[in-house]
Chain A
Amino acid sequence: MDKILPLLQHNARASIADLAKSANLSEADVAARIARLEDDGVILGYQAIVDPQKVARERVTAVIEVKLTPEREGGFDKMAERIARFPEVQGCYLMSGGYDLLVIVEGRTLNEVAGFVSEKLATIKGVVGTGTHFRLKAYKENGVELKREVGPQRLAISP
């Protein structure tokens, strides 16, 4: 795997100069590698990880289990892509187990999310059932614990 990718996944805001030092590469090399990762669609974007409880503008998030009857041509993919295209949908995954798609939907209010599910999602041809679970509280986002532990207590100097 590219040396730069894990460093960017750890901190997408690291400067080219710092990345070059950490990966032991030249700055020009780092810039070229990032450009290639972006061009190839390996890196899709850079986003902030936000604590939803600390944002004044409240959002409602639901996890929706969707059961499908796959289409004759296109199977699950075509239907999943159709669902994923809605801007309300933040995540969409084909799953093993008791249902087919896991869809993460975000809206301003409970009614807005409920409306999306009943009017848009459930009415799509081939959707045979949905199960909606609203999120109550977040503890970890994108691998970051929201209640961060302070670093370990260490002596200021030790042998």
Chain B
Amino acid sequence: MNLTNHIASHVRGIPRSGIRDFFEIVQSMQDVISLGIGEPDFHTPWRIREAAIYSLERGHTGYTSNLGLPKLRERIAQYVSKHFRVGYDPATEIIVTVGVSEAIDLALRALLNPGDEVLYHEPCYVSYNPSVVLAHGVPVAVPTHAADNFRMTAEELAKKITPRSKVLMMNFPCNPTGATQTREELEKIARICIENNLVVLTDEIYSELTYDGATHTSIASLPGMRERTVFLHGFSKAFAMTGFRIGYACAPAPLTEAMMRVHQYAILCANTMAQDAAIEALESGDNDVAMMRKEYEARRNFIVRSFNDLGLPCFTPLGAFYVFPDIRSTGLTSREFSMGLLEKKKVACVPGTAFGASGEGHIRCSYATSLEKIKIAMTRIAEFVAEVRK
């Protein structure tokens, strides 16, 4: 039996992830220093792990409500209100999900009819385009540029709007670029969304990791936006809880209800122990987050200065834990650069094109790794660049 013909055509059409082959090469090599890891290098803070252990000890091993534990939803409502200045009703407007990834899938499946267009900035997280395709939507990339420090501009967004435009997806602070949006730019974008009746999915998973004292603004908090926004957040990055797989979506009740319908049949509920751990994170994790933020900020300063010293221009990102230096002066494509660096110097990074065509000429380097390793990696990158330029 030839199963290929049985695979749905829209699934067949999804390309393999651009980092998959790198992953396989790195696996086969020794002594590689990886700047290609998109998750914190910190352990989950002990108090949070301890809460998960206690959850098991108490026998919290059953299902929870489809929307998630009521206490967790209350804590989420308090947290979002305090940090993002948007109020949500924990009974009807918050749903706990298996990471933000699931929340994105739920929102797109709940919103899209076949052929509806979803706008998103590019470079962006690897799942954006395929999630839209899997929900039978049409992905429409809005390019962002190094000259704007990879902010999404209202002008570029406006150019891509059509009568089929239905949803705008955005992720600031951004993986892979580290870009953040200013309040002024968000206001212009919000105006376009209101004029064109768009729903906004805003993935703010990196918002706690904002540096230089910059304040993070959520588009959901702008006038007229709460009613048309799905606010997505989770615990993976700020609380170093990637493996817990726990996130959430906040949205007006009818949209939350629609997302819940998909969630209840596909997933039923998020992991119960992880939900208990998430309560602990929200109740007492602030100091741990502050400690990690301080450490990331010092590493960011180090890696940004190092790339600029090498003559690979790199803007100082105000968020997340990635830098996105410009490697065009080496004459290599981002793929050639990343492959050469890995083979010759055993340093792994991710070519910018893994995050969309507009990432060409750039590489993504994660500084979620120890300063000691970053130092060695930067020495090796300097050697590689010198050899390439010779």
Contact = CB atoms under 8 A, between A and B. Distances in A.
B43 A23 contact: no
Contacts of A18: 302, 371, 375
A157 interface: yes
Interface in A1-32: 6-7, 10-11, 18, 21-24
Interface residues of A, number: 18
A56 interface: no
Interface stretch (A35-43, A130-138, A146-154): A146-154
B19 A157 contact: yes
A11 B17 CA distance: 38
Contacts of B26: 156-157
Interface in B335-390: 348, 350, 354, 371, 375
Interface residues of B, number: 35
A158 interface: yes
A49 interface: no
Interface stretch (B30-38, B107-115, B227-235): B30-38
A7 B41 CA distance: 18
Chain B CB count within 10 A is highest, among A7, A10, A18, A159, for: A159
A23 B36 contact: no
Nearest to B21: A157
A159 B38 contact: yes
B23 interface: yes
Contacts of A152: 40-44, 240
Interface string A89-106: 000000000000000000
Contacts of B22: 157
A149 B32 CA distance: 21
Interface stretch (B152-160, B187-195, B293-301): B293-301
Nearest to B36: A157
B306 A21 contact: yes
Contacts, number: 64
A10 B43 CA distance: 17
A7 to B, nearest CB: 6
Contacts of B44: 152
B39 interface: yes
A158 B38 contact: yes
Contacts of A157: 19, 22-23, 26, 34, 36-37, 348, 350
Contacts of B32: 156
Given A149-B43, A154-B37, A159 B125 contact: yes
A152 to B, nearest CB: 5
Contact of A22 (B27, B299, B354): B299
A124 B258 CA distance: 77
A155 interface: yes
A30 B70 CA distance: 50
B342 to A, nearest CB: 10
B126 interface: yes
Contacts of A149: 43
B264 interface: no
A156 B348 contact: yes
B136 interface: no
B329 interface: no
A55 to B, nearest CB: 24
23 contacts: A7-B298, A21-B302, A22-B298, A22-B302, A22-B371, A23-B301, A149-B43, A152-B40, A152-B240, A155-B23, A156-B27, A156-B36, A157-B23, A157-B26, A157-B34, A157-B36, A157-B37, A157-B348, A157-B350, A158-B36, A158-B38, A159-B17, A159-B354
Interface of A: 6-7, 10-11, 18, 21-24, 149, 151-152, 154-159
